[in-house]
Amino acid sequence: MTTPRTDGRAQVLAQIRQSLGRSGPAPAPITPLPGSGPCPGFEGDVVERFVAKMLEKSATLERLGSLAEVGAAVARFIAAVPAPPRVRVSGALAGIDWPPGLQVLHGAARREDHTSVTPCFAAVAESGGIVTLSGPDTPSTLNFVPDNHLVVVRASQVLPHFEDLWARLRASGRPMPRTVNIISGPSRTADIEQTIQLGAHGPRRLHILLITD
């Protein structure tokens, strides 16, 4: 016996097929067309454009020489904010050497977490954006629950356009994740008296740790 939710889904799909002149599901998997449409051109280095665009959107950034410097950089950020010496870290970054005195927890973020540290799948220079994929080691709560979100971005992950992102995801061979998040800066809204407020629906601060190795 199907549930009303399943019946509703079947009705919507049936209407879509009818509009396309089909009587049932496509006989073969749909493959993307080769190439991509026109993309806006821009001059200069893609990494520097990414940096400029993110700074325009109220993110902050520190350049690091290697992944080994991430632990100390996180500790500096926490001391400068200031925030409690406790971080919720993506399981994908479990191999980082963290400085003493910093409490490091893994798993999904909780309401009491002030700071999270995550990797990214890619970054986009075109208009500025950090792309994260949800998964067992990268729960989306790390991107949105804590006030401070620190993201590790390698220079090699910066792509020119958003079309390049989807091409890289298909080429990686990994299945489509449940959630693809494109983060362009700290959370903000102007709904309150037309005044920009940071942290209304997510992190108040977005800090990028850009690794140039």
Interatomic CA distance for residues 165 and 181, integer angstroms: 12
Q: Which domains does the chain have, with CATH numbers?
A: 60-188+196-202 (3.40.50.10420)
The pairing of strands 103-106 and 188-189 is unpaired
pLDDT at 191: 56
pLDDT at 17: 86
**pTM listed for this prediction:** 0.81
Interatomic CA distance for residues 71 and 75, integer angstroms: 6
Interatomic CA distance for residues 152 and 156, integer angstroms: 12
pLDDT at 4: 52
pLDDT at 10: 85
Mark the ranges of the chain whose per-residue pLDDT is less than 70: 1-6, 188-201
pLDDT at 190: 53
pLDDT at 2: 47
Interatomic CA distance for residues 51 and 43, integer angstroms: 14
SS3 of residue 182 by DSSP: strand
pLDDT at 1: 46
pLDDT at 72: 97
